[in-house]
Amino acid sequence: MEGIDLNIIAFYILAGFSVFSALGILFAKNVVHAVFLLVLVFLGIAGVFIISNAEFVGVTQIMIYIGGVLILMMFGIMLTHRIDGKRLESENRSVLIATLLGFGLLGILFYPIKAGFPLFDFGSNEETGFTVTEQIGIHLMTTELIALEVTAVLLLMALVGAAYLAGLNLKKKGVNDTD
Partner 1 sequence: MIPIEHYIIFSSMLLVIGLMIILIKRNAIMILAGVELILNAANINLVAFSQNDPSLSGQMMTLFVIVVAVAESAVALAIVYQIYRHQGISNIDELNELKG
Partner 2 sequence: MSMSSLNEQIQAIIGDFGVLLPEATLIVGSFILIILQLIFKDKAGATKVTFSLFLLGLISLAVSYSSVSGEYFGGLISITPVVGLAKPFFIVVTGFVLLFPKGEDLLKRGEYHFLLLMILLGAMLLIQVNNLLLFYLTLELISITSYILINFNFDRKGFEAGIKYLLFGAMASGLMLYGMSLMYGLAGSLDLIAIGDLISNGQSSGLWLPLALMLFFIGIWFKLALAPMHIWSPDAYEAGPTPVVAYISIVPKVAVLIFFAQFVSTTQLNAIDFDWKMIFSGLAIVSMFVGNLSALNQSNAKRMMAYSSIAHSGMLIIGLIVGDSFGLQAMLFYAIVYAVMNLGAFYLIDLFQKAGFEEIKDLAGLGRKSPWLGVFVVVIMIALAGLPPTGGFTAKLLMFTALWEYYQSEGYQYLIWLFGLGLLNTAISLFFYLKIPYYMFVYPSESEKNIKFSLKDGTIVAVVVFIVLLSFFKADLLLNVLNQFNFAL
Partner 3 sequence: MENILLYIILFAPLVSAALSYFLTKKWAGETLVGFSLLVLLAAIMAWFKQPVSSGFELDWILAGNQNFSIGLYYDQLAGIMTIVVAIVALLVAIFSMEYMKHDGGQPRYFAMLGLFAFSMYGIVLASNLLLTFVFWELVGFSSYLLIGFWFEKDAPPISSFKAFLMNKVGDIGFLLGIFILYAFFKTLNIQELIGLDPVNAAIPNGLLIALGIGLFLAAVGKSAQFPLQTWLPDAMTGPTPVSALIHAATMVAAGVYLMVRVFPMLAPEVLTVIGIVGGITAFMGAFAAFAQNDIKKILAFSTVSQLGYMIMAVGAGFPVAAFIHLTTHAFFKAGLFLCSGSIIHYYHETNHTAGFDPQDIRNMGGLKKVLPFTFMAFTLCMLSLAGLPLFSGFLSKEMILNGLVSADHLPSFVLVFGFASVFMTAAYMARLYFKVFFNQQVAGEKYAEAVSVKVPLLTLSSLSIGFVFSMNPLSPDDSWLLSVLTSYKGIGIADHFVWVPILSIGLALSGLIFSYLYIERKMLSGLVSGVKSLTYNLSNRNFYLDDIYDVAFVSGSKTLAKAAYWWDQKVVDRVVNLMGKTQVVLAYLIGWFDRRIVDGGVRLVTWLVNFAGNRTRQVQGGNLQNYLAWAVFGVLLIFYFFELMT
Please give the residue ranges that form the binding site for partner 3 (CB under 8 A): 93-94, 97-98, 101, 104-105, 107-108, 111
Closer residue to partner 3, CB minimum distance, 79 or 97: 97
Instruction: DSSP letter for 156, please.
Output: H
Contact in structure between 44 and 20 (CB atoms under 8 Å): no
CA distance linking residue 51 with residue 10, whole number of Å: 8
SS3 77: helix
54 binds partner 1 (CB under 8 A): yes
CA distance linking residue 115 with residue 112, whole number of Å: 5
32 binds, among partner 1, partner 2, partner 3, none (CB under 5 to 8 A by kind): none
CA distance linking residue 98 with residue 95, whole number of Å: 5
Closer residue to partner 3, CB minimum distance, 106 or 148: 106
Q: Is the dihedral of CA 101, 102, 106, 108 positive or negative?
A: positive
Q: Give the nearest distance from C-beta 79 to partner 1 in angstroms.
A: 5
76 binds, among partner 2, partner 1, partner 3, none (CB under 5 to 8 A by kind): partner 1
CA distance linking residue 158 with residue 105, whole number of Å: 31
Residues between 91 and 150 that touch partner 1 (CB under 8 A): 91-95, 97-99, 101-103, 105-106, 109, 113, 116-117, 119-120, 122-123, 125-126, 128, 132, 135-136, 139-140, 143-144, 147
Instruction: Read off the amino acid at residue 28.
Output: A
Binding-site string for partner 1 from residue 61 to residue 100, where x marks contact by CB under 8 A and - marks none: x--xx--xx--xx-xxx-xxx-----x--xxxxxx-xxx-
Residue from 85, 86, 94, 120 in contact with partner 2 (CB under 8 A): 120
Residues between 79 and 118 that touch partner 2 (CB under 8 A): 108-109, 111-112, 115-118
CA distance linking residue 133 with residue 140, whole number of Å: 10
